[in-house]
């Protein structure tokens, strides 16, 4: 796409942004040509989001110049950005759950009908809804204009977000980590949408830290590290390894090195387990599997096929309706979370902020959430702060938790470091079984590498590991055996040596049931 005769539609020069104590962007340069997909790659905290927020007018740069279509512009707020044709799809969707798609679309630029009463005129929902449908069919983004956002799937919400910026007349689309919340199937579909958008004349800045996606979709790639531009390249000139090195600043192990599993006796056995969700519908339907000491059993599956409820039942957060669970031969079905923890089950939950940590608590306290009542952390009902601090200092060092102090509240840590706090807490106890659910969702390459290593170290120590993940690559590279979960059942089991993406994807979609391929 790079063509010297064409002027870049967006050009930024030497953007610098300082926050108290941090240089978030240090003289960053970037240019975007018309009909180009330009990937902005970098670890969490590299300054990608800051840069994009400057372009979108949520922050103002301290230094540097932005040109749109060759003209120097000043972007003070999102309205300026939209006027210049810059639209942004945020990582956390900016949609209002209790409003309809149409209402979300018109918010901020409402169309009205009837008497002209300014902000008190009547909203013109039908016109906007018609315009929305026209736009949707033009870009192949089908969505029901009258649906409420809270009833939509994540993939649909993303379509609404894109329609929203298109509706506001954006020519340049900034997409901040758009695939972080999508399943592999949704991601493929999403890439098709992007290609169509570019064909229709839009230009896209795509922010991500997923290397594979970058190589698949980008025309050009710019890598940021610690607020600086490391370089710009194209997929043809580079490789996963080179990109990872540019991003992290050192060589990264993308393929996890792990030895052959040496499975021993059966540690954990689940037979005929059924679990109901909050609507009292059986979402886990007669699941049976076992895990041996020293092996990793991976459960692959599209999200929402009962994995969440299965893990909750195994960790004492939800009652099983039927079946039983055995740990080391003892029946532990429907025991509560504390007794399971004490028997030797460790749990790294799917939603680390909601179920893994107390966000307002400091690191040292989060590290003893399950053991605070035991010696040495507690004596005769009194908390022993000294041993808690000592424990925290050790674990912070051992698990490389990057933090100013052990007294920092976990909510001010990055996602990767939050996950490390949980991993440290769970692996520091004597355990027989480790249950990890989506352990690396939303994390950067460096943290993913570290967490994967820790899981393998646990396995090699003889822990049985249950890995639940929607990331096929993660399942394939970590697991020793794989079960595919579909519609509340484990539909097939195989050794990792027999598995590949296509085969797993086939089972994940529910055999050859064609409907499932098109299910949204």
Partner 1 sequence: MEINLIIGLSTLAIIKAAPLVFGALCGLLGERSGVINIGIEGMMLISAFTTFLGSALFNQWTGGIFPTNLSLLVGLFCGIASGALIAALHAVLSIHYKIDQVISGTVINLLAVGITNYVANVYIDPTHLSGVGVFPTIPIPILSDIPIIGPILFSHQPMIYLMFILVIFMQYLVFNTPMGLRMRSVGEHPRSADTVGIDVNRTRYINVILGGIFAGLGGAIMVLESVGRFQKLMTSGRGFIALAALIFGRWTSNGALGSALLFGFSEALGVRLQFGDLNHIKVIVIVSGLALLGLGLFLLIKKIKEKEINIKKYITILILIVLGFTIMVGSNYIKFPSISIPIEFLGLLPYILTIFVLTGFVRRAKGPAAAGIPYEKQ
Q: Residue 32's beta-bridge partner residues?
A: 10
- Provide the token pair at 438: 């989506």
User: Any residues with CB less than 8 A from the CB of 251 and at least 6 apart, and which?
Assistant: 241, 244, 245
- Contact flag: residue 24 with partner 1 (CB under 8 A): no
- Contact flag: residue 79 with partner 1 (CB under 8 A): yes
- Contact flag: residue 97 with partner 1 (CB under 8 A): yes
Whether the Cβ atoms of residue 181 and residue 157 lie closer than 8 Å to each other: no
Selected binder of partner 1 within 13, 35, 64, 78 (CB under 8 A): 78
Q: Residue 382's beta-bridge partner residues?
A: 379
Selected binder of partner 1 within 4, 21, 71, 119 (CB under 8 A): 119
Least distance CB 77 / partner 1 (angstroms): 6
Binding segment for partner 1 (CB under 8 A), chosen from 108-116, 176-184, 291-299, 498-506, is 108-116
First vs last C-alpha separation in the chain: 33
- Contact flag: residue 186 with partner 1 (CB under 8 A): no
Contact set for partner 1, span 390-419 (CB under 8 A): none
Least distance CB 154 / partner 1 (angstroms): 16
Least distance CB 80 / partner 1 (angstroms): 9
Q: At 140, give phi and psi (nearest 5°).
A: 65, 35
Binding segment for partner 1 (CB under 8 A), chosen from 94-102, 241-249, 297-305, 362-370, is 94-102
Closer to partner 1 at the Cβ: 99 or 252? 99
- Contact flag: residue 112 with partner 1 (CB under 8 A): yes
- Contact flag: residue 121 with partner 1 (CB under 8 A): yes
- Contact flag: residue 433 with partner 1 (CB under 8 A): no
CA angle 269, 271, 276 (to 5 degrees): 120
Selected binder of partner 1 within 15, 51, 106, 132 (CB under 8 A): 106
Q: Nearest Cα to 53, choosing from 82, 78, 85? A: 78
Q: Nearest Cα to 101, choosing from 147, 153, 161? A: 147
Closer to partner 1 at the Cβ: 111 or 355? 111
Binding segment for partner 1 (CB under 8 A), chosen from 36-44, 113-121, 348-356, 390-398, is 113-121
Report how far Cα 494 is from the mean position of its chain's Cα atoms.
27
- Contact flag: residue 77 with partner 1 (CB under 8 A): yes
SS3 of residue 212 by DSSP: helix
Whether the Cβ atoms of residue 87 and residue 172 lie closer than 8 Å to each other: yes
Residues 56 and 267: their CA atoms lie apart, in Å, by 53
- Contact flag: residue 108 with partner 1 (CB under 8 A): yes
- Contact flag: residue 107 with partner 1 (CB under 8 A): yes
Least distance CB 492 / partner 1 (angstroms): 41
Selected binder of partner 1 within 11, 38, 48, 90 (CB under 8 A): 90
Distances (CA, A) of 262 to 267, 417, 435: 13, 30, 19
Count of residues of this chain found to bind partner 1 when the rule CB under 8 A is applied = 29
Residues 134 and 285: their CA atoms lie apart, in Å, by 42
- Contact flag: residue 22 with partner 1 (CB under 8 A): no
Cis peptide before 376 (omega within 30 of 0): yes
Selected binder of partner 1 within 23, 99, 252, 328 (CB under 8 A): 99
Selected binder of partner 1 within 13, 26, 27, 58 (CB under 8 A): 58
Mask 146-185, x = binds partner 1 (CB under 8 A)?
A: ----------------------x-----------------
Selected binder of partner 1 within 12, 28, 88, 143 (CB under 8 A): 88
- Contact flag: residue 385 with partner 1 (CB under 8 A): no
Closer to partner 1 at the Cβ: 113 or 374? 113
Residues 437 and 452: their CA atoms lie apart, in Å, by 13
Binding segment for partner 1 (CB under 8 A), chosen from 101-109, 192-200, 337-345, 355-363, is 101-109
Selected binder of partner 1 within 31, 36, 43, 103 (CB under 8 A): 103
Closer to partner 1 at the Cβ: 93 or 289? 93
Residues 345 and 430: their CA atoms lie apart, in Å, by 9
Whether the Cβ atoms of residue 274 and residue 323 lie closer than 8 Å to each other: yes
Selected binder of partner 1 within 6, 22, 96, 130 (CB under 8 A): 96
Least distance CB 402 / partner 1 (angstroms): 21
- Contact flag: residue 130 with partner 1 (CB under 8 A): no
Q: Nearest Cα to 93, choosing from 162, 43, 35? A: 162
- Contact flag: residue 109 with partner 1 (CB under 8 A): yes
Strands, sheet with 330-331, edge to edge from the N-terminal-most edge strand: 282-292, 266-276, 320-327, 330-331
For the chain, percent helix, then strand, then coil, each to nearest 5? 35, 25, 40
SS3 of residue 283 by DSSP: strand
Least distance CB 57 / partner 1 (angstroms): 9
Least distance CB 56 / partner 1 (angstroms): 8
Whether the Cβ atoms of residue 223 and residue 247 lie closer than 8 Å to each other: yes
SS3 of residue 507 by DSSP: helix
Selected binder of partner 1 within 1, 123, 215, 276 (CB under 8 A): 123
Residues 88 and 78: their CA atoms lie apart, in Å, by 9
Least distance CB 354 / partner 1 (angstroms): 16
Four-residue CA torsion sign, 484, 486, 488, 489: negative
- Provide the token pair at 198: 């570019």
- Contact flag: residue 136 with partner 1 (CB under 8 A): no
Given the DSSP bridges, would you call strands 112-113 and 86-89 parallel, antiparallel or unpaired? unpaired
* Residues found near partner 1 in the complex (CB under 8 A): 56, 58, 77-79, 82, 88, 90, 93-99, 103, 106-110, 112, 117, 119-123, 168
């Amino acid at each position: 796409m790079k063509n010297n005769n064409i002027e870049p539609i967006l050009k930024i020069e030497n953007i610098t942004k300082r926050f108290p104590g941090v240089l978030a962007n240090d003289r960053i340069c970037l240019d975007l040509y018309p009909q180009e997909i330009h990937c902005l790659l970098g670890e969490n905290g590299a300054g990608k989001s800051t840069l994009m927020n400057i372009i979108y007018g949520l922050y103002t740069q301290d230094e540097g110049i932005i040109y749109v279509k060759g003209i120097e512009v000043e972007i003070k707020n999102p309205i300026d950005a939209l006027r210049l044709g810059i639209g942004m799809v945020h990582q956390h969707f900016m949609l209002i759950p209790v409003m309809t798609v149409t209402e979300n679309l018109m918010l901020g630029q409402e169309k009205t009908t009837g008497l002209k009463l300014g902000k008190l005129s009547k909203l013109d929902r039908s016109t906007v809804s018609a315009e929305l449908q026209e736009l949707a069919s033009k870009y192949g983004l089908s969505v029901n204009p009258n649906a409420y956002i809270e009833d939509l799937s994540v993939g649909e919400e993303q379509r609404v977000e894109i329609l929203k910026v298109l509706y506001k007349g954006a020519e340049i689309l900034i997409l901040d980590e758009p695939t972080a919340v999508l399943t592999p199937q949704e991601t493929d579909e999403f890439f098709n949408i992007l290609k169509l958008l570019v064909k229709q004349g839009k230009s896209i800045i795509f922010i991500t830290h997923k290397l594979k996606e970058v190589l698949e979709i980008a025309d050009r790639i710019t890598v940021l590290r610690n607020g600086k531009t490391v370089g710009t390249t194209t997929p043809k000139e580079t490789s996963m390894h080179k990109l990872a090195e540019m991003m992290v600043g050192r060589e990264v192990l993308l393929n996890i090195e792990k030895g052959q599993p040496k499975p021993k006796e059966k540690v954990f056995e689940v037979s005929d387990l059924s679990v109901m969700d909050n609507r009292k519908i059986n979402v886990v339907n007669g699941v049976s599997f076992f895990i041996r000491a020293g092996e990793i059993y991976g459960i692959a599956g599209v999200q929402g096929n009962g994995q969440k409820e299965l893990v909750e039942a195994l960790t004492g957060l939800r009652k099983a309706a039927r079946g039983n669970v055995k740990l080391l031969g003892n029946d532990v079905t429907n025991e509560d979370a504390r007794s399971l923890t004490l028997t030797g089950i460790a749990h790294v939950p799917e939603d680390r902020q909601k179920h893994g940590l107390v966000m307002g608590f400091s690191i040292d306290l989060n590290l003893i959430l399950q053991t605070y009542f035991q010696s040495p952390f507690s004596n005769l009902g009194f908390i022993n702060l000294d041993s808690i601090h000592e424990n925290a200092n050790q674990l912070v060092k051992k698990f490389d938790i990057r933090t100013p102090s052990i007294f920092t509240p976990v909510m001010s840590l990055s996602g990767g470091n939050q996950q490390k706090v949980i991993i440290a807490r769970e692996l520091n106890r004597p355990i027989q079984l480790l249950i990890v659910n989506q352990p690396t969702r939303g994390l950067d390459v460096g943290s993913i590498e570290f967490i994967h290593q820790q899981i393998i170290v646990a396995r090699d120590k003889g822990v049985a590991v249950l890995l639940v993940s929607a990331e096929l690559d993660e399942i394939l590279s970590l697991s020793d055996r794989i079960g595919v979960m579909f519609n509340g059942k484990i539909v097939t089991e195989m050794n990792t040596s027999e598995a590949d993406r296509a085969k797993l994807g086939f089972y994940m979609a529910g055999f050859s049931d064609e409907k499932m391929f098109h299910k949204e």
